[in-house]
Amino acid sequence: MTTLLGFLLFSFTINAALIVPFIDLLYRFRFQRPGRNSSDFLGGINKMFNRLHKAKAGTPVGGGLLIIISTTVLFMIVISLLRLIGADMSSVYPFNLEVNIIVATFVLFGLLGLYDDVVKFFPDKKKSVGISWRAKLAGQLILGLGIGWYMFQMMGISIINIPFFGVADLGWIFVPFAAVVISLFSNAVNITDGLDGLAGGVLMITLFALLILGSTILDMPTTLFIALWLGGIMAFLYFNTYPARIFMGDVGALSFGATLAVIGLLYGKIIAVAIIGGVFILEFATSAIQMFGKRYLGRRLLPLSPFHLFLQSVGWEEPKVVTRAWLAGIVLAVFGLWLAFL
């Protein structure tokens, strides 16, 4: 654990040194939050969101890109050096396969999010709010199926741990199950990323919990990746808290959510990980319920979604919503760890 914390601080230092120049670079390339109306997941104009977040227009978006690049580069350099000096690199699954699946998820979902950001911030006449939700979901599911197949066929993963009931072997059903879970987590983090410091803070708490969980499993590649990733998130969060100087963007949100799911699947504890990241799941659930009502019943089933937007609409100030979400995240992380250790 001492080594992992050392690498966490190393990643934090590197990212802290890079983030201010990176923010300036985003300004230079005008990679900023647009001032025009934003749409909801069905393409309609979200008037409440636009009213509450009008002041955020012009803030640089794309902090997730820096974290993806820095974490991936540091991870590949560190594991190469550790193997070169003969350090213990114990892994639950074949080392190279485990590294491949984590990095591939991190990068591929990041590219999907980056494309969405580029379309959103540099629109043509036909596209002004990013790629459609159908196209985005299709891309997530296709990537998820590929990742699920790799985990099942190449790594032999097909089990999940169900708290209080034991282990369930899903067999080939693991592949579509993984695709759905990865897409769900990816969208959940993306939906949560609506307030200054909300998704970043909850993600930091979630990763701390996963670092603790991973250190007990003695899976060095994954826990090392989490430590380096967490260091980047901590540096990013300093500039993402209210009032934010930079946002994560879809490039970060889609990548980070999908990677959380893959780590949960690698550990065989996806249910516990879903509880650890329960704030993300709540945000996704409220949006999914609202989407179902609007699309199939022709009416809203909730006053407003996602949940953080509802809290703002009833008068909660943005910092209050975020700090309460962090507190809820800590409680859920402790509860999820307890379930994982059963």
pLDDT, tens only, 17-34:
999 999 999 999 888 877
Residue 54 — very low, low, confident or very high, per pLDDT cuts 50/70/90?
low
Instruction: Please name the residue that has the structure tokens 């709540």.
Output: 282
Helix, strand or coil for residue 154? helix
pLDDT, residue 99, reads 95
Residue 167: in which H helix or E strand, if any?
strand 166-169
Buried b vs exposed e over 298-318: b needs ≥16 C-beta within 10 Å? eeeeeebbbbbbbbbeeeeeb
Each as own residue / partner, the long-range contacts of residues 12-15 (CB below 8 Å, 24 or more positions apart, any chain) are: 12/231, 12/232, 12/234, 12/235, 13/231, 14/70, 14/74, 14/231, 15/66, 15/67, 15/70, 15/231, 15/232, 15/234, 15/235, 15/236
Q: 156 phi and psi, to 5 degrees?
A: 70, 25
Single-letter amino acid, residue 234: M
Helix (H) or strand (E) holding 49: helix 47-52
Three-state secondary structure call for residue 33: coil
Q: Note the pLDDT of residue 162.
A: 93
* Rounded Cα distance, 128 and 38, in Å: 9
Which token pair is 282?
A: 């709540």
Average pLDDT of the segment spanning 156-177: 94
- Residue 40 pLDDT: 54
If one counts every other C-beta atom within 10 angstroms of the C-beta of residue 112, the result is 23
Average pLDDT, the chain: 90
The model's pLDDT over 205-257, given as tens digits with 9 standing for 90+, comes to 999 999 999 988 878 999 999 999 999 999 999 999 999 999 999 999 999 99
Q: Percent of the chain, pLDDT > 70? A: 91
Residues, the chain: 342
Confidence label for 76 from pLDDT (cuts 50, 70 and 90): very high
Least confident of 42-46, 96-100, 262-266: 42-46
Q: Flag whether the pTM goes above 0.85.
A: yes
Give 45's strand partners.
39
Query: Average pLDDT, stretch 136-149?
Result: 96
Instruction: State pLDDT tens for residues 109-141.
Output: 999 999 998 888 776 555 456 688 889 999 999
What end-to-end distance do the CA atoms of the chain give, in Å? 21
Q: Where are the domains of the chain?
A: 2-159+170-269
**Where do we find the tokens 């001032």?**
35
30-36, long-range: CB < 8 A, 24+ apart: 30/121, 31/60, 31/61, 31/62, 31/117, 31/121, 32/57, 32/58, 32/59, 32/60, 32/61, 32/121, 33/57, 33/58, 33/59, 33/60, 33/61, 33/121, 33/247, 34/120, 34/121, 36/128
% of the chain exceeding 90 in pLDDT: 69
Which pLDDT value is given to residue 88? 81
Assigned token pair, 338: 């307890």
